[in-house]
């Protein structure tokens, strides 16, 4: 009877060659993917470092810009306060204690006839406070006119209340000459902010690419099929090399079955993954 060892030897060599080719291909793909991930992660770290440097540069610029803006806001509020004073002083002769308009009505009229730089709750509070002072002054002047003989006794009280012009008038700050550094720093900060936005967009794109760099779907089943094929097509035939012809008749169909099913499992998985990838690239 023909020596069966050649059969198991040839079977093991064929299976080992197939496993080697597939294993080398898979290993190269995994290593290439790992290298690509490493390069992208390194690039993300570099861009994050560049963003931190730009943000560090923005800190003193932002402090200077905020300080200038604070002074501009202070001047704007002074100008608004001056407009309020002028408005109340002009309205004073028209006001009647018996029929005084509400603060909201006066505020609405002020806004319709004057440009207010900063109209917020702080401005509303300042206006109402000055309007209340004006009403108190009108009330005192009316009492003074009704009781002329008590002028001397009211002298102390009137001394504590400033005249309408003194009490309402707040010196306006002249707008200072625009600081050339302010424009320069603001331009640098805007340029840095644009760079930061662009770099963040690049990071998002790289992170999206990293999410797509994953192992094939159900990759563990590929590993299981390779192990199954290796055991049935390489290890088992090598273990059966010192086999007798009688034993060969028993083991041959079993070994062939394991070899064929393992080979089918490996190539079936590869075919399914190729079909899945092709479908993913071309959804239509």
Two structure tokens written together for 194: 């644009």
Tell me the whole-structure pTM to 2 decimals.
0.60
Contact 233, 19 (CB under 8 A): yes
Alpha carbon distances (Å) from 158 to 52, 84, 92, 98: 62, 23, 18, 22
List the chain pLDDT tens, one digit each, 284 residues. 567 788 888 889 999 998 888 888 888 888 888 899 999 999 999 999 999 999 999 999 999 999 999 998 999 999 999 999 999 998 888 888 788 888 888 888 888 888 888 888 999 999 999 989 988 888 888 888 777 554 444 444 334 334 444 444 444 444 555 678 888 999 999 999 999 999 999 999 999 988 888 777 678 888 888 899 999 889 988 888 888 888 888 888 998 999 899 889 888 888 877 776 676 555 54
* Of 219, 217, 199, 198, residue with least CA distance to 276: 217
Domain ranges of the chain: 5-214
Pick the closest to residue 133 from 92, 172, 93, 96 (CA basis): 92
Distance (Å, whole) CA 79 – CA 115: 10
Residue 255 to residue 43: CA distance in whole angstroms? 51
């Amino acid at each position: 009877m023909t020596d069966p060892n050649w059969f198991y030897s040839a079977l093991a060599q064929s299976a080992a060659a197939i496993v080697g080719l597939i294993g080398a291909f898979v290993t190269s793909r995994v290593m290439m993917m790992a290298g690509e991930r490493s390069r992208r992660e390194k690039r993300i770290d570099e861009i994050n470092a560049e963003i931190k440097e730009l943000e560090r540069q923005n800190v003193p610029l932002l402090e200077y810009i905020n300080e200038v803006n604070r002074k501009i806001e202070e001047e704007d509020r002074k100008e608004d306060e001056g407009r309020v004073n002028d408005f109340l002083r002009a309205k004073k002769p028209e006001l009647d204690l018996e029929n005084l308009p509400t603060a909201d009505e006066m505020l609405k009229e002020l806004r319709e006839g004057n440009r207010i730089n900063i109209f917020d709750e702080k401005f509303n509070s300042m206006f109402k406070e000055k309007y209340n002072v004006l009403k108190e002054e009108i009330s005192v002047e009316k009492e003074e006119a009704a009781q002329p003989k008590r002028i001397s006794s009211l002298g102390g009280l009137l001394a504590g209340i400033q005249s309408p012009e003194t009490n309402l008038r707040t010196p306006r700050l002249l707008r200072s000459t625009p600081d050339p550094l302010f424009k320069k720093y603001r331009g640098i900060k805007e340029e840095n902010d644009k760079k930061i936005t662009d770099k963040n967009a690049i990071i998002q794109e790289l992170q999206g690419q990293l999410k797509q760099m994953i192992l094939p779907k159900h990759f563990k089943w590929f590993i299981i099929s390779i192990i199954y094929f290796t055991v049935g097509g390489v290890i088992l035939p090598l273990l059966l090399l010192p086999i007798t012809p009688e034993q060969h008749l028993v083991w041959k169909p079993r070994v062939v079955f394991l070899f064929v099913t393992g080979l089918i499992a490996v190539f079936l998985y590869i075919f399914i993954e190729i079909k899945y990838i092709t479908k993913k690239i071309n959804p239509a």
